Structure 1
Amino acid sequence: MKYVIGIDLGTSAVKVLLVNQLGVVVQEISNSYPIIQRRPGYSEQDPEVWVEQTIHALKELHQNFTEDTANIEGISFSGQMHGLVLLDENNEVLRPAILWNDTRTTEQCKEIYDVIGKERLLEITKNPALEGFTLPKLLWVKKYEPALFARIKTFVLPKDYLRFRLTNKLQMEYSDAAGTLLLDIAKKEWSTEICERLDINLTICPPLVTSDEMVGELSAEIAKETGLQTITKVFAGGADNACGAIGAGILQEGKTLCSIGTSGVVLSYESSSNKDFNGKVHYFNHSAPNTYYTMGVTLSAGHSLSWFKNVFAKEVSFDELLANVEDVPVGANGLLFSPYLVGERTPHADSTIRGSFIGIDASHKIADFTRAVLEGITFSLNESIHIFREEGKIIDTIVSIGGGAKSDTWLQMQADVFDAKIIKLTSEQGPGMGAAMIAAYGCNWFETLQACADVFLKVEKEFIPNEENIRKYKELFGVYREIYSTTKVLNEKLLSYRS
């Protein structure tokens, strides 16, 4: 039997999957690492811990593997998007990586609009200037750490740095480059115009490769340390959302993904680069060859549920917390929740808005609040689906992955709110599986990624929307959409009181 490895470099942990030719996950190893938060709004990590924890996972994988390691033919990667890793002329890390959820760069987003113009930026990059993207972080370093900025030889994103450390080859692939605000999405090249107008040397932008390109083999040092072989082929991989889409089979027009992790994503396949959503949703290069995807983001999706549990129901498990939600009627007995705990992304790019419970009554119990949290998260994700449909996209089938796919009650809620059939996969491994599929495709196990998906991915269950619930949720969604505009000014007045 032949095998591939998918490495998913997440925000809180690295997950390593060993997958065989039938798509069966033979081993799964996860190692966590901390986030550095030196000030409010700052979110950083030491890139060295990514390397250390990945090597530990690969060592453990090798120790548990009883066959010839030559049968492990390929490795590929998925990784957290947008994070800025700065390297000097010796490819040494200059400072801790600034992560996707770092919000210090509001000033730099304004600078990008002032210099480039919002419309021109959308024409080139297909995306608005948001704090989470890479270019604002680069401009922040330029202004506040000028001596360090002068030493920059190149920059990469997190999983690209990890891949460099395993191969000694340095590149960036298109699906991650699309999240930098420096890539011309349609032309698939770094934007000379953006670099020149913002006084950024184009030479710091690394070479670009496709996700399925073989970029090298394991270095002798890493092979010796992990027990794997230097003949193991290494493929570029993709951004976590692109790999999550591949791992859910979002490889054809009309296919849509709902992923509920810490943040939430609604992602839909696009076959061309000529759609125009006016920056309402993200538009990125896919990891599938010569394709794209549109994506809306809820910043605090699963995080809202874990926050609620930790603050109000710490003594119970998640299963116990969700046990009685099915008995609560649609609308949580008149209680609404907006999941703006850390701001919002789609459709409101607002870092200052915060969450609310609306309609609290003395009769409400913990199950009502829990259902309201689930419905609020789902309503927020439905904002993206609403935008897609307004632009003429047909969305009738959605693959749901992540925490939201672990509860049948929540899956049925998604079907009713989204007014679409929801599919739950038999083995849902998300971005790690997508990375493994890229490696399998790169190793020529399959002629296409779709052919790989046909073998690797199986449907476990389908959830069909309930007509009566569709009607009720459409009414409630209209009320939910009023919460942002109604509470925006109040939240701005409270901003100075936040610690």
Structure 2
Amino acid sequence: MAIVGPRRQSRESVDGPNRTGNGQGVTVMATDRPLLCGIDAGTSQIRAILFATDGRVVAHAAEPTPMRELGPGRAELDPEALWRITVSLLRRVAAEAPDAAAIRSIAVASVGEAGVLLDADGRPLAPVMAWYDTRATAELEQLLATIGFEQLHRITGLCPDPTFSLLKLLWLKRHEPELFARARRWLNVADYLAWRLSGEQATDPSLASRTLLLDLERRTWAASLLEATGLPASLLAPILPGGSPLGRIRPELAGATSLPDDCVVGVGGHDHVCGMLAAGADRPGILFDSMGTAEALTCIREAPLADPALGWDGFNQGAIELDRPFYYVFGGLPTAAAAVEWFRSVHGGLDHATLIAEAEAAPGDSDGVLFLPHLRLGSPPFPDPVGRGAFVGLSASTTRGALFRAVLEGIALDGANILGTMLRHLGARMPERILCVGGSTRNQLLMRLKATAYGVPLAVLDLPDATCLGAALLGGIAAGIHADLAEARSRLEIPVRLVHPDSNGDEGTRLGRQAIYATAYATLRPLHARLLDR
């Protein structure tokens, strides 16, 4: 990787259930070169992007994710609406492509934890609970009482919380027993879309890792957990390596979208993992910082860690498999860019540029204001299912600019806190390189604050669509365009810029600010619990 026309079918045949069982900057490319499509079903947006094999964007389409917020800890979306949007996006990118016949493959990345429950005819039985939906708190408490935290961590590598797929399934089993009795399959969101595209059902280890049902070391479904929770193994899809071919696109879908009928659908993966694969961060010694609506800091390992203390502090592990298996440890901030968007929303949707300019003009210490960005769940080392954010240090002179600077600094300090705790668990020194991707990397003030909080330069890849690109590369492997991921990445040309820590501050001030932040959540957590009467 260098870092520097078929007959159309009726819409009903595409948008109905599959019963077979089986605005970026656009560069016009030569039509004799293959194009790869990556789909990202994310928290805020669903995107479909066509890439040339060197990573350049050829066509782009996006729509907001049709999420319905139902109240604190509850959000869901209609799986049929998700599918209709995906089909529409594919129509649009195929129409924008210089030659739709050059589109050789598709693969899908998505959020983890969320999935679709299907009946015997492949019809969705219930809305998709958002990955961050925490309604299954009672089911988590029962699971911890019967199986225990350390046993769950030993098998799955996860810090159990109510968002994982297993808890969503147990919630449906308890609250919708008649509906659940008709269930025959649970598919992660990416796997559901890939099935609707190809007619074949499968998942990959990275998404299976987010279910709380994967035996991490063996990379198979955990029979002991299925037995203990009364769930049939048949409910879960086969696990295949990322980049495995599922088959060709369904003929009726090809006709309705102008995609070629020999376009191959491949196994995709978890959104953060797909971004990591595109960025080339899938080796030890690199920290991958994926900065989206949620933020994930990920380090690669050759084997999982058994120490339950890692889980107690809120860190999760997972498996990846392409031509070989490997593992990762990550800590996440569920509301990174989401905290920025929350702040914008309470100020009438004010544009980013105005807020950033005001924050640039604010004092370097945010006028003594500290922000805790835990607007939805806590982050390591405080895995709190009812996490709450806070502004601390307000005064009568506090300006909007100081508040917004504190929001950005809070995101940066939280990342540094996660990283410091992770490195202590891993017994590791600061990574040799920190690679950052995602839409938030375009906020230069945030990146300076983050580099200052980390105390080291950050390598920012000019790769705002890393997740889609990673999915597209996996699709290219499935179609035989790439022999493997290394060969696929060798064709990419991705510019990189270094962001250095603020030279105005000293090490003592940085560490002092970080120490204050590290104690703030622990101090406020019992107060938040009392406010929530929990």
Q: Return the TM-score normalized by structure 2.
A: 0.88
1:374 aligns with 2:408: yes
Deviations along 1:229-279, whole A, 9 cap, x unmatched?
221111110011111212322122112122222222112222323464631
Whether contact under 8 Å (1:396, 1:421) holds in the other structure is no
Q: How does 1:13-412 map to 2 (within 5 A)?
A: 13-67=45-99, 69-274=100-305, 276=307, 278-279=310-311, 280=313, 281-286=315-320, 288=322, 289-311=324-346, 313-314=347-348, 316-390=350-424, 391-394=426-429, 395-412=431-448
What is the alpha-carbon distance in structure 2 between the residues aligned to residue 331 and residue 253 of structure 1? 34
SS at match of 2:366: coil
Whether contact under 8 Å (1:259, 1:400) holds in the other structure is yes
What is the alpha-carbon distance in structure 1 between the residues aligned to residue 300 and residue 418 of structure 2? 14
What is the alpha-carbon distance in structure 2 between the residues aligned to residue 389 and residue 39 of structure 1? 36
C-alpha deviation, 1:361, in angstroms: 2.1
Q: 1:481 aligns with which of 503, 506, 518?
A: 518
Structure 1 unpaired stretches of 5+:
none
C-alpha deviation, 1:341, in angstroms: 1.8
Code of the aligned partner of 1:109? L
Larger mean CA deviation between 337-346 and 49-58 belongs to 337-346
What is the alpha-carbon distance in structure 2 between the residues aligned to residue 469 and residue 263 of structure 1? 30
C-alpha deviation, 1:364, in angstroms: 2.4
In structure 1, the residue matched to 2:456 is: 420
Q: Return the TM-score normalized by structure 1.
A: 0.94
Q: 2:473 aligns with which of 425, 437, 460?
A: 437
Cα distance change on mapping 1:470 and 1:463 into 2, 3 Å: farther
Code of the aligned partner of 1:399? L
Code of the aligned partner of 1:122? H
What is the alpha-carbon distance in structure 1 between the residues aligned to residue 149 and residue 215 of structure 2? 15
C-alpha deviation, 1:393, in angstroms: 2.8
Cα distance change on mapping 1:275 and 1:415 into 2, 3 Å: farther
What is the alpha-carbon distance in structure 1 between the residues aligned to residue 423 and residue 81 of structure 2? 42
Deviations along 1:184-210, whole A, 9 cap, x unmatched?
011011111001111111221211111
Code of the aligned partner of 1:475? G
What is the alpha-carbon distance in structure 2 between the residues aligned to residue 290 and residue 72 of structure 1? 29
Whether contact under 8 Å (2:90, 2:257) holds in the other structure is yes
Whether contact under 8 Å (2:61, 2:93) holds in the other structure is yes
Q: How does 1:442-457 map to 2 (within 5 A)?
A: 442-457=478-493
What is the alpha-carbon distance in structure 2 between the residues aligned to residue 229 and residue 478 of structure 1? 57
Larger RCO, structure (CA 8 Å, separation 6 or more): 2
Deviations along 1:290-336, whole A, 9 cap, x unmatched?
1222111112111112212221x336411111014334444212111
Deviations along 1:400-440, whole A, 9 cap, x unmatched?
22243012222121111112221112232121111012123
What is the alpha-carbon distance in structure 2 between the residues aligned to residue 93 and residue 251 of structure 1? 35
SS at match of 2:158: coil
In structure 1, the residue matched to 2:8 is: none
Deviations along 1:50-109, whole A, 9 cap, x unmatched?
211111111112222232x33211111101111131111112111111121111011111
What is the alpha-carbon distance in structure 2 between the residues aligned to residue 78 and residue 3 of structure 1? 17
What is the alpha-carbon distance in structure 2 between the residues aligned to residue 38 and residue 368 of structure 1? 32
Cα distance change on mapping 1:393 and 1:275 into 2, 3 Å: farther
What is the alpha-carbon distance in structure 1 between the residues aligned to residue 490 and residue 409 of structure 2? 32
CA RMSD between the two structures = 1.9
What is the alpha-carbon distance in structure 2 between the residues aligned to residue 14 and residue 333 of structure 1? 38
What is the alpha-carbon distance in structure 1 between the residues aligned to residue 435 and residue 359 of structure 2? 22
Code of the aligned partner of 1:380? D
In structure 2, the residue matched to 1:490 is: 527
Cα distance change on mapping 1:229 and 1:236 into 2, 3 Å: same
C-alpha deviation, 1:216, in angstroms: 1.1
What is the alpha-carbon distance in structure 2 between the residues aligned to residue 433 and residue 251 of structure 1? 15
What is the alpha-carbon distance in structure 1 between the residues aligned to residue 491 and residue 360 of structure 2? 34
What is the alpha-carbon distance in structure 1 between the residues aligned to residue 506 and residue 252 of structure 2? 58
What is the alpha-carbon distance in structure 2 between the residues aligned to residue 410 and residue 28 of structure 1? 26
Whether contact under 8 Å (2:369, 2:393) holds in the other structure is yes
What is the alpha-carbon distance in structure 2 between the residues aligned to residue 297 and residue 482 of structure 1? 18
What is the alpha-carbon distance in structure 2 between the residues aligned to residue 116 and residue 443 of structure 1? 42
C-alpha deviation, 1:342, in angstroms: 2.2
Cα distance change on mapping 1:123 and 1:36 into 2, 3 Å: same
What is the alpha-carbon distance in structure 2 between the residues aligned to residue 126 and residue 457 of structure 1? 35
What is the alpha-carbon distance in structure 1 between the residues aligned to residue 280 and residue 392 of structure 2? 37
Whether contact under 8 Å (1:135, 1:181) holds in the other structure is yes
What is the alpha-carbon distance in structure 2 between the residues aligned to residue 87 and residue 345 of structure 1? 32
What is the alpha-carbon distance in structure 1 between the residues aligned to residue 498 and residue 487 of structure 2? 22
Larger mean CA deviation between 450-459 and 203-212 belongs to 450-459
